[in-house]
Amino acid sequence: MSSPVPHDPEPPIPAALVSPVNVTAGAVEHSVDVVRPRLRARPSRRVALYAGVQINGAPHLGTDVMQTAAFLLARSARDRLGVRPALRFGALDNAPHDTRVCPRTGTTYTRSYHHALGPARIEELVKRFYGGLFDALTALTGVPYTVETYTRQQRTPAFREEFLASLGQWERLRWTLAPSSGQVPVSVPCPECGWLQKSGEHTELLDADGRRARFAALCLDHGRYETDVRPDGQGWLGLSTLHRNLVKERLADRDEALPVVVKGADWAAGCRLLDEAFLCFPDSRPPARVFTPVVLSASGAKLSKSLMREGGAALSPDTPPWMLDATRWPGTPEGYAALLHRLVSLMLSEPRHFERGYTTSEIARLIAGPG
């Protein structure tokens, strides 16, 4: 609260920015203000902002805009709400690294980044993709950050307890997490080789209570195996995207610091399902969430690694290569951080500029400035 507020290294981007009137006009002056009702309901001197870090390839501009917004929102929480902010990034080392298909059954097996590379190389990847940017953003905003891998997080007793609690509500919960089928795969990797069935076709919950769940599953090479999931952190637990986020959000609510989840606006529809899932637990409420602008290709589709890989990104010719792959930024990490800081400060200057998406062309125009 009393730490000095670092100033922008450069003036804001001067290009004229025009955004439509938004739904929250007249209600929200700054996008971080959505946290205020939570703080009034549950007074806290500290706020923890949670954001994700993808490690399955170099980040694109959309990812880095979300992360920069997390730093700036944290600083605004400090300045506007008078709380001490911390920024906690979760590195998704559960992303699939390798895939195999059983020639007999057609079942897809995957091996995670964690199982393929191990913790030391995961740490290297996080440093390579994000270390320079995050350190420079800390220098610009005064907001400290930490990075924790999914593997470390899922091992904690609290994560396991929340997972076991979700099994306790399973009959209702599985239909909110998968409204079309009610099928929510839980994956436990083979203890011999670390591979797992991607959709858990042959994974079976044998029995569960509040202290333990026992699963049986099938490995392509090692056949049937059984694994216990307990709060003591044995084994490794793979959850589907929404289930994993539900467990993480309920876990975050246990912290003394008030949790604020920062996600790209493409998450809004998924978070509606998470809100429904929270209703399955008595006296449970979802954390405050702030959605950040998505970066779009010319077609209006969000920039994404899979879209670019499949060649469907439909990028306009004025999109510089570093917008798709941040490791191709031609300057220093500090210069990249300063540019993002200016760009996202402009987006945060009014909620109407924050509650919308930006094409890569529009961002190129904003960066170039008038004339």
Residues near Zn ion (CB under 5 A): 190, 192-193, 219, 221-222
Cβ of residue 154: shortest distance to Zn ion, in angstroms?
A: 19
Cβ of residue 117: shortest distance to Zn ion, in angstroms?
A: 17
CA–CA separation, 353 and 347 (whole Å): 5
Cβ of residue 193: shortest distance to Zn ion, in angstroms?
A: 3
CA–CA separation, 335 and 10 (whole Å): 10
Q: For 264-320, where are the alpha helices, taking DSSP H only? A: 268-278, 305-309
Q: Between 109 and 134, name the residue whose CB sits nearer to Zn ion.
A: 109
Q: Between 53 and 188, name the residue whose CB sits nearer to Zn ion.
A: 188
Region of 238 please: left (phi>0), alpha (psi -120 to 50) or beta. Answer: beta
Region of 142 please: left (phi>0), alpha (psi -120 to 50) or beta. Answer: left
Q: Between 190 and 260, name the residue whose CB sits nearer to Zn ion.
A: 190
Cβ of residue 62: shortest distance to Zn ion, in angstroms?
A: 36
Q: Between 84 and 111, name the residue whose CB sits nearer to Zn ion.
A: 111
Q: Which one, of 17, 8, 74, 82, lies nearest residue 346 by Cα?
A: 17
CA–CA separation, 60 and 54 (whole Å): 10
Close Cβ partners of 39 (under 8 Å, ≥ 6 residues apart)? 47, 81, 83, 258
Q: Between 189 and 287, name the residue whose CB sits nearer to Zn ion.
A: 189
Which residues, in sequence order, are bridge partners of residue 141? none
Give the CA dihedral 293, 295, 298, 303, nearest 10 degrees. Answer: -140
Q: Between 22 and 108, name the residue whose CB sits nearer to Zn ion.
A: 108
Q: Closest-CB residue for Zn ion?
A: 190
Cβ of residue 201: shortest distance to Zn ion, in angstroms?
A: 16
Cβ of residue 212: shortest distance to Zn ion, in angstroms?
A: 22
